Structure 1
Amino acid sequence: MDITIMKCPSINNLEFSETSKLAIKEIRRVKALSDYLATVAVFGTFANIFAGNGPIKSHYNLTQTDFDSFLNGVKQIPQIGNSVIQREALKQ
């Protein structure tokens, strides 16, 4: 597979409108929120299994956790964020 790397030309004196600036700010906010949500989901699940629990309770929590559903849910977080970002970009 041949990959050609193109250098993007400089765009001098580019100025964004106020709506474009707001859209960029919103896109950055959604991306940060999506990343944060994925981190919290993973950390929260593992904290729920292990934090403050002894070995018996932790083992029980491990056996009762549906990791397939959990993984499917966590995989959806970036996709949902990207969908929101695409809608915001299309509005511009």
Structure 2
Amino acid sequence: MASSKTAQVQNQVDEVVGIMQNNIEKVMQRGERLESLQNKTDDLQQGALQFKKGATKVRRQMWWKDLKLKIIIAAVVIVILIIIIVPIVNALKPKN
């Protein structure tokens, strides 16, 4: 009977040890997944920073390009107005 109780207790201890080993393994796997997730998060953060820098650079380039285009259009309009207005003014001047 004592042997039976000892065997029963030993079986319970073995079962608890197995469960604890399983739990420890799961905790280690969780730690590995968390580390992997942290690495992926760091990579995404770096990618986002690079994207932001690139987007800012492109935005500045487009702003300058847009400004240059507006200046060229304004210059063309001024030249056209001068071409139209000068002959009209000359035609309206009284000839001496």
- Provide TM-score, normalisation by structure 1: 0.40
Structure number with the higher helix fraction is 2
Q: Which has the higher contact order (CA 8 A, sep 6+)?
A: 1
